[in-house]
Amino acid sequence: MKHLFCCLVALGAWSGSVLADVPTDPLSWLARISNAAHKLNYTGTFTYQSGKNVETSRIAHLVDGTGEYERLEALDGSPREVVRNNDEVQCFLPDQKLLIVDQSSARRSFPARLPQSPSALAEHYRIRKGEVVRIVGMESQQIILEPKDDMRFGHQFWADVGSGLLLRARLVGEKGESIEQFAFTEVHVGAPFDKEKVKPRFVRSSDWKVVNARGSDVKVEDTGWVFKNSIPGFRQVVSVVRQGRKERGEAYHVVFSDGLAAISVFIEPMPAKNTLQSGMSSSGAFNIFRRTVSDHLITVLGEVPQQALVRIADGVETRKR
């Protein structure tokens, strides 16, 4: 009983010091969640669910004076692993003996779902605090973002009261349905820095193929394309030319984002044997819209309502010279 009393006293003192730093307004909470994802050391296992599809992954995220390091390992299906060293991303696909090298994209991965400066989100989302609930043994504060228009989905975040780390994130559709959800099933915050935890598990041998997927930055006005339709709050964050397959030539890739949602546009020469149908389709949480313009295939995709994709796609035209 004496040991139990000491533990309770210690926990009370610790929780009091933590709560003193807990923000009271939802925007400050978003900033705290964003900061925690990038500044804390953490390891854990989380699930991703979209429809009937459920996947489990293991993550290790470490930070020191030289930057951020992360290893994400898929635990279901074919083995695959993503290793990030600051802005460089390596994707290992051992079954295919393939290594894809890229740079960090505009799409944010769990638990780093929020932009580093989330205050601008209040212009296009109604942001409020929800309930405090218990997730993976931790008290967590719910933050709710409701879109002010029909061009984006809603978000629900649950963050550890003690550290601010995001424990669960849910994308919510126009009718309040869950489109996708990330959730830790176990997590340890404050892990000691150990570089071995973020090194790739797979060893690349000489028979592996290495694909450099990095794009070359290019200004939109130099591409021969123009985007006549815009969506309030979405700004261009990526504009690159990527080397496609030999038979298809270069592909132009531009990304528009409001800080949470991202819309990708791919413009590439029409393949000789095009089996892709124009119109709307979906893949998991992503909506996809395709159309053809001047012998080019325009593919617009994102975790946004269909009307947002159509609006962007309908405004893609060749630049008049």
Domains along the sequence of the chain with CATH: 21-198 (2.50.20.10), 215-318 (3.30.200.100)
Question: What DSSP string describes 111-180?
Answer: T--S-SSGGGGGGTEEEEEEEEEEETTEEEEEEEEEESSSSS-EEEEEEETTT--EEEEEEE-TTS-EEE
Q: Are 166 and 183 in contact (CB under 8 A)?
A: no
What is the rounded CA–CA span in Å between residue 267 and residue 36?
36
Chain centroid to Cα 79, Å, comes to 20
Closest C-alpha to 82, from 61, 53, 106, 52: 61
What is the rounded CA–CA span in Å between residue 75 and residue 55?
8
Closest C-alpha to 213, from 195, 235, 234, 238: 238
The DSSP code for 294 is T
pLDDT of residue 20: 41
pLDDT of residue 239: 94
pLDDT of residue 193: 84
Residuewise pLDDT in 10s, the chain (321 residues): 334 333 333 333 333 334 446 788 999 999 999 999 999 999 999 999 999 999 999 999 999 999 999 999 999 999 999 999 998 999 999 999 999 999 876 567 899 999 988 999 999 999 999 999 999 999 999 999 999 999 999 999 999 999 999 999 999 998 999 999 999 999 999 978 888 999 999 988 889 999 988 889 999 888 999 999 999 999 999 999 987 665 567 899 999 999 999 999 999 998 777 667 789 999 989 999 999 998 899 999 999 999 999 999 999 999 876
What are φ and ψ of residue 154, in 5° steps?
Answer: -90, 165
Residue written as tokens 């979906």? 282
Beta bridge partners of 306: none
Sign of CA dihedral 234, 238, 240, 242: negative
- One-letter amino acid at 317 equals E
Contacts of 320 (CB under 8 A, 6+ apart): none
Closest C-alpha to 110, from 169, 22, 172: 169
